[in-house]
């Protein structure tokens, strides 16, 4: 039996803005299992970062959890849980952040202190959380730098962040994240600012750490190619909601939501005629302050039904692992097949090879 690490139910998060409430996360259900990787994918503004920052208890002053629960399961006994949504920021910092759940942020520069050596930044948390002596922390810091593939670790300890390349800084950030042995690692687009080969190396590093430590990973990305490489489970987000969710096989071989089809069609296809331009989903994401009536994706959806402009679709369960929020799955809906380009790729069984 798989063990649970995190169970999120009906999470709703909003921001109070001068233009009224902005509902950034709407009724999100997510499950993370031990040793597995959950990828959250979706366009800019869909609520990916807000979701994971809420898990970490990083809330801005105008932000509120309107409803729902975020259950953290203890490593020893999964029935022993803490609802993170009920903890204060202080309790989160003392009991959870770093030691149980750690996060790697979108931009490595924002999580490193430019005025402090990377050695000190690595040692700090271990001295505080793990109660190591300075000498012990130093030794472990060097070992961690080696583990994340930084050569000359002893010397690098004395470097400041600006003395490192972008890829190296990201490795340091990952080393800091895992330094206090968390059992969950959240990576918010850790590779977008990096060039493609370095991106691939960072992905490999995270997978390598996962193999060695059995850590559970939540991985946020825009890029379905990355999802195919790293994920066990995939959640597709649109306008604050999870519109399709399933195992990586469910999503890549049996996608049901037109938005997922759109994301897939936008992936480079090595077999496609190279004179053809890459597909992009028409239109833009909705204004989150003023969501349209019905399904917020409807105005961009070539497969939209009349019902989509009236009422937001419920979540339809396709199998035990797979669900999607589209009226196309309603028994009254006409039968619609995914676009030919997607079916061809599924037929060639190559989508999931990234």
Ligand X SMILES: Nc1ncnc2c1ncn2[C@@H]1O[C@H](COP(=O)(O)OP(=O)(O)OP(=O)(O)O)[C@@H](O)[C@H]1O
Quick one: what does residue 284 bind among ligand X, Mg ion, none, with the CB cut-off 5 to 8 Å set by partner type? Answer: none
Please report how close the Cβ of residue 123 comes to Mg ion at its closest, in angstroms: 29
Helix (H) or strand (E) holding 15: strand 4-17
Output 47 or 313, the one with its CB closest to ligand X: 47
Two structure tokens written together for 202: 């960072």
Question: Is 111 an interacting residue with respect to Mg ion (CB under 5 A)?
Answer: no
Burial of residue 186 (CB within 10 Å: 0-12, 13-18, 19+) is buried
User: Which of 281-320 are b and which e, b meaning 16 or more Cβ less than 10 Å from the residue's Cβ?
Assistant: beeebbebeebeebbbbbebbebbbebbeeebbebbebee
Question: Is 48 an interacting residue with respect to ligand X (CB under 6 A)?
Answer: yes
Q: Which of 15, 233, 279, 297 binds ligand X (CB under 6 A)?
A: 15
Sequence-distant (≥ 6) Cβ neighbours of residue 206 within 8 angstroms: 174, 185, 187, 190, 217, 219, 230
Scanning residues 20 to 59, which ones bind Mg ion (CB under 5 A)? Answer: 49
Question: Is 251 an interacting residue with respect to ligand X (CB under 6 A)?
Answer: no
User: Taking Cα atoms as reference points, which of 262, 254, 221 lies closest to residue 104?
Assistant: 221
**Which range in 26-34, 47-55, 198-206, 308-316 contacts ligand X by CB under 6 A?**
47-55
Task: Compute φ and ψ for 245, nearest 5 degrees.
Answer: -150, 140
Looking at the chain, list the stretches that DSSP marks H as alpha helix, in order from N- to C-terminal side.
48-55, 89-91, 108-111, 118-129, 134-147, 153-156, 166-178, 196-213, 224-230, 248-253, 258-265, 340-347
126, 180 contact by CB (below 8 A) = yes
Question: Is 47 an interacting residue with respect to ligand X (CB under 6 A)?
Answer: yes
Please report how close the Cβ of residue 305 comes to ligand X at its closest, in angstroms: 26
Q: Which of 1, 19, 44, 270 binds ligand X (CB under 6 A)?
A: 44
Question: Is 288 an interacting residue with respect to ligand X (CB under 6 A)?
Answer: yes
Please report how close the Cβ of residue 299 comes to Mg ion at its closest, in angstroms: 23
Quick one: what does residue 50 bind among Mg ion, ligand X, none, with the CB cut-off 5 to 8 Å set by partner type? Answer: ligand X
Q: Which of 3, 62, 163, 317 binds ligand X (CB under 6 A)?
A: 62
Which string of x and - marks every residue 193-232 that binds ligand X (by CB under 6 A)?
-----------------------------x----------
Question: Is 30 an interacting residue with respect to ligand X (CB under 6 A)?
Answer: no
Please report how close the Cβ of residue 216 comes to ligand X at its closest, in angstroms: 20
97, 125 contact by CB (below 8 A) = no
User: Taking Cα atoms as reference points, which of 216, 251, 267, 257 lies closest to residue 4?
Assistant: 216
Residues at the interface with ligand X (CB under 6 A): 15, 17, 22, 24, 42, 44-50, 60, 62, 222, 288
Residues at the interface with Mg ion (CB under 5 A): 49
């Amino acid at each position: 039996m798989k063990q649970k690490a995190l169970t999120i139910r009906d999470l709703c998060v909003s921001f109070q803005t001068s233009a009224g409430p902005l509902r950034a996360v709407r009724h999100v259900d997510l499950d993370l299992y031990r040793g597995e990787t959950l990828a959250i994918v979706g366009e800019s503004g869909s609520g990916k970062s807000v979701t994971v920052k809420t898990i970490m208890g990083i809330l801005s002053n105008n932000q509120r959890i309107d409803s729902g629960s975020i259950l953290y399961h203890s490593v020893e006994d999964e029935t022993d849980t803490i609802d993170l949504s009920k903890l204060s920021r202080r309790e989160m910092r003392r009991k959870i952040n770093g030691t149980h759940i750690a996060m790697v942020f979108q931009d490595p520069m924002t999580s490193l202190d430019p005025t402090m050596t990377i050695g000190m930044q690595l040692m700090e948390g271990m001295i505080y959380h793990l109660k190591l002596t300075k000498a012990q922390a130093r030794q472990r810091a060097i070992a961690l730098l080696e583990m994340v593939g930084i050569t000359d670790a002893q010397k690098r300890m004395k470097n400041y962040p600006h003395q490192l390349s972008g890829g190296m800084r990201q490795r340091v950030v990952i080393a800091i994240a895992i330094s206090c042995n968390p059992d969950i690692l959240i990576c918010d687009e850790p590779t977008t600012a990096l060039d493609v080969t370095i991106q691939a190396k960072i992905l490999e590093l995270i997978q390598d750490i996962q193999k060695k430590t059995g850590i559970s990973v939540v991985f946020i990305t825009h890029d379905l190619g990355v999802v195919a490489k790293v994920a066990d489970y995939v959640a597709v987000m649109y306008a604050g909601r999870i519109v399709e969710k399933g195992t990586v096989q469910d999503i890549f071989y049996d996608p049901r939501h037109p938005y997922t089809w759109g994301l897939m069609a936008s992936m480079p296809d090595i077999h496609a005629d190279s004179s053809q331009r890459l597909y992009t989903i028409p239109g833009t994401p909705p204004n989150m302050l003023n969501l349209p009536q019905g399904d917020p994706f409807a105005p961009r959806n070539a497969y939209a039904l009349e019902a989509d402009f009236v009422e937001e679709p419920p979540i339809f369960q396709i199998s035990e692992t797979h669900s999607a929020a589209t009226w196309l799955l309603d028994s009254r809906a006409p039968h619609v097949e995914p676009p030919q380009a997607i079916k061809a790729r599924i037929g060639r069984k190559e989508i999931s090879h990234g």
